[in-house]
Amino acid sequence: AQTVTQSQPEMSVQEAETVTLSCTYDTSENNYYLFWYKQPPSRQMILVIRQEAYKQQNATENRFSVNFQKAAKSFSLKISDSQLGDTAMYFCAFMKPNTGNQFYFGTGTSLTVIP
Amino acid sequence: GAVVSQHPSRVICKSGTSVKIECRSLDFQATTMFWYRQFPKQSLMLMATSNEGSKATYEQGVEKDKFLINHASLTLSTLTVTSAHPEDSSFYICSARAGGAGGPQHFGDGTRLSIL
């Protein structure tokens, strides 16, 4: 089974500052997908960003970007210009295609943006 | 974007009651849906994979007779918690995958189940 590790249970950042959430994973696969999901207090899971393992270029979505290091099996999320609405649990997820498309989630990082 | 609707959002019922939770993909067809359980301040635990027109695939340790899954159409999967007890109280979330290989899962809003 794949394992996904998020080593930071809780983090905080000042509003407008930048924060990086770490994620590492363990797999022997070469083709896979990585995701970051956000779960605010409303509990809905919201897709933040997605990365294909075969792409060397790091994915970006507005204020959110990733640092994907395939050899190191690392997939960190950088949030720039943090906003109060970014306060949420953030989950890193791994998916290996064509095997039921199951997601393997990390344990999550609780991020608090401080005004 | 792809929308997944989950109903009800909150259920409070007595011990011994069976509870049905619905998960619908509103604007796309989903041959596969997933059911998760989440305890407070913990990650999502995959319970089962729901496949349209066939039996669900349950994760190890999940009782298939306790958590009945039906995926009768390409847009609807249901999870029935049979004879629920207080230890079944939890947050249940469904998801469905849209698009081809590598497509993200889209999640419902979840159901808070409380068994008295």
A51-86 confidence digits (pLDDT tens): 999 998 999 999 999 999 999 999 999 999 999 999
DSSP letter (8 states) at residue B59: P
In the prediction, which pLDDT does A100 show? 66
Interval B4-10 mean pLDDT: 95
B54-106 confidence digits (pLDDT tens): 889 999 999 999 999 998 888 999 999 999 999 999 999 999 987 666 778 89
Bridge partner list, B58: B48
- Name chain A contacts of B49, Cβ cutoff 8 Å: 100, 102
CB contact under 8 A, A44 and B101: no
Structure confidence at residue A101 as a pLDDT band (50, 70, 90) = confident
Q: Hey, what are B26's tokens?
A: 């509103």
Interval A36-50 mean pLDDT: 93
Structure confidence at residue A97 as a pLDDT band (50, 70, 90) = confident
What value does the mean pLDDT of chain B take? 91
pLDDT reading at A42 higher than 70? yes
pLDDT reading at B1 higher than 90? no
CB contact under 8 A, A107 and B93: no
Q: Does B34 touch chain A (CB under 8 A)?
A: yes
Reported as type and span, the H/E element at residue A31 is none
B3 backbone φψ class: left, alpha, beta (φ>0; ψ -120 to 50): beta
Q: How far apart are CA B101 and CA A79, in angstroms?
A: 27
